[in-house]
Chain A
Amino acid sequence: MGRGRYFVRSVVLPVGVTVLGLLGWHLACVVAQAEVFPDPYATWLAFGELVDSQRIWGDIIASLFRVTWGFLLAAAVGIPLGLVVGWNTLAFSALNPIIQGLRPISPIAWIPIAILWFGIGDGAGIYLIFLASFFPITVGTMAAVRNISLVHQRSAWNFDLRGLELFRWVVLPAAMPQIITSLRIALGVAWLVIVAAEMVGMDSGLGYLINDARNAGSRYDLVVATMIVIGLIGIVLDLLIRRLERFDEVKWGYVER
């Protein structure tokens, strides 16, 4: 009985709703007699065109390249910084106001400055992704450290853990589950931001492809196909980063305690 219900719930239901959605999309195009906006079939053809022309691969690689480096740099700086600022009250008093002050500024707002400093190209993109990821990672790590339970802090204190040992045995592992969650959020934001950044300030990448398709003869079929590609890659990125949650050292952070 369980197996049949599982099949209905996890296969029939989502696939059915997706098919219905596509049908609705198609019908809406017919009813509205849309000329510019593509129906599902046109989008499918556009997708084939993108793959055949080889162009999409270059743009995917360009976007992923910027996201990867910006994100890794942000993690390399943000995690250590968040650990120290979260643990050390002096560092917290000094740096938290600046971090909280810069955090609400959308990375998109930085685009003119990024172009001023790095020109049109990968440098500006990596810088923007760095900004987009840095704040979620740093703030998430800080919060994780400040959430370390009193009893674990006292255990550390009781067993004379100091300095680097303290970070290795307690602060880092205790914060790890929440750090991974903040990495996940940061990567999601990074993928949102890169598209916007490429639409405005770059001459390659999936964001640029969308803009280019619209400017070069209102090819909205290419626009929608690219949007779908962006969505699919976003899902894959999230699935990849979620694999970090499976390590024995962090599993405890994701179950009810």
Chain B
Amino acid sequence: MTGGSGARPKVHFEDVSKAFDQRGGTLSVLEHIELTIFEGELVCLLGPSGCGKSTLLNICGGFERPTRGRVTIDGEEVDGPSSQRVFVFQEYGIFPWASVWDNIVLGIRHLSKAEQHRIVAETIELVGLEGFEKAYPMELSGGMKQRVEVARALAVSPDVIYMDEPFGALDSLTRLSMRSELIRIWQEKQQTILFVTHDVDESIQLADRIVVLSARPGRIREVVEVGLSHPRDLGSPEYGRIKNRLYELLGVSHSV
């Protein structure tokens, strides 16, 4: 199985379905999602807009309840948000009224001052924000704000990090460097990461496995293994092969 030999199952989706009540009926968004994510794995949920991938993430984050089925983490059913499972949001979820330092301290505010200091300083160094501890988010670039957001999540050493198109609002160059930063941090911290994206390249660059969802109602079309080691050569034949496969699964032609 993927996720390294002998990896422990971390997140488990048991036949998860989700439907929303709408005027004149129900709208089925997700159907029969059956999936296991292993400890330390970086898994991308890839699918077209509106396929329910963010909804799936919200369900395992505890922000929404599945209509059927359940999600367990380490065998325990998710029944609400917890600071052990932290979201990195698409729009900026960090607090604009608080300094970089105060934002990162949020999840560890109950620890002793000395502990807080140690962890925040460490995390700031890890994400490369030294010298910006006292800055406010409005003084930072988009990429740096997203670093703060990632740092805030890392500071609590969560079981799982959920990332909902975290780099979607960044320009393409920043996006690229943020991806390699994420891989560097992920390799150092060995976190389990569930990453939602609609960007085919992003998913191949980041993921151990890519879960391809169909258009609404979202079902798992296929789970594609990315057998490439980091750093990944974006020009390799294997990269191209996976890319073609993903486009095929998404039902779009690769050549324009």
B92 at the interface (CB under 8 A from A): yes
Let me know if B136 and A151 touch, CB within 8 A.
no
A244 to B202, CA, bound (A): 44
Interface size range on B against A: 20 to 34
A to B contact number (C-beta, < 8 Å): 63
A151:B138 contact, CB within 8 angstroms: no
Contact of A248 among B61, B90, B136 (CB under 8 A): B136
CA A154 to CA B106, docked complex, whole Å: 13
Given A169-B106, A248-B136, A154:B87 Cβ within 8 A? yes
Residue ID in chain B nearest A157 by CB atoms: B81
Q: Please tell me if the beta carbons of B97 and A154 are within 8 angstroms of each other in the complex.
A: no
Which bucket holds chain A's interface residue count? 20 to 34
A173 to B63: give the CA distance in the assembly, Å.
23
Inside 8 A of B91's CB, which chain A residues have their CB?
A: 149, 151
A151, A159, A165, A176, most chain B CB atoms within 10 A: A159
Judge whether A160 is part of the interface by a CB distance below 8 angstroms: yes
CB within 8 Å of B: which A109-156 residues: 149, 151-152, 154-155
Distance A257 CA – B85 CA, assembled complex (angstroms): 28
B137 contacts A151, CB within 8 Å? Answer: no
CA distance A250 to B96 in the complex (A): 8
Query: Per-position contact with B for A162-206: 1 when CB-CB < 8 Å, else 0?
Result: 000100011001101000000000000000000000000000000
7 new A-B contacts at CB < 8 Å, known A152-B95, A158-B83: A154-B89, A155-B95, A158-B87, A160-B82, A165-B109, A169-B106, A253-B96
A residues bordering B, Cβ < 8 Å?
149, 151-152, 154-155, 157-160, 165, 169-170, 173-174, 176, 248-253, 255, 257
Sample (21) of A-B pairs whose CB atoms are under 8 Å apart: A149-B91, A151-B91, A151-B92, A152-B93, A155-B87, A157-B63, A158-B61, A158-B82, A158-B86, A159-B107, A159-B156, A169-B95, A169-B106, A173-B95, A173-B97, A174-B97, A249-B97, A252-B96, A252-B137, A252-B138, A253-B96
